Amino acid sequence: MKGKNGIYYNRRVLLDTPTGWVYIGTLTGEDEISFFLEDADAFDVSETSISKHEYVRMVKKDGIAPNRKKIAVLKNKVTAITFIEDILEQ
């Protein structure tokens, strides 16, 4: 996130998508096409019986369980960026 949006860099964030996929990790950079996360959890909630919101609340409570050392997420697939600490518990 360039300029004033750089506040997201080196922070744990959730990248939400319009699909069942959520990406949670430390935002380390971006280019014109992708956001880059490290120590990331790439998770497809469509393979479970819980909602995205339920999964994200679990991650906030229990911590991130990384399944990727580094990942690039296409910007055109991201609908929102949220700090993990800003996720509401209810």
Residue 5: pLDDT band by 50, 70, 90 thresholds? low
CATH number for 53: 2.30.30.100
| pLDDT tens sequence across 34-90 | 999 999 999 999 989 999 989 999 999 999 999 999 999 999 999 999 999 999 877
Residue 90, domain member (yes or no): no
Total structural domains in the chain? 1
Please state the pTM of the whole predicted model. Answer: 0.88
Q: Which of 48, 64, 76, 53 is nearest to 13 (CA)?
A: 64
Residue 89, domain member (yes or no): no
Range of the domain at 8: 3-84
- What are 6's two structure tokens? 């750089």
pLDDT at 3: 45
Residue 73, domain member (yes or no): yes
Residue 29, domain member (yes or no): yes
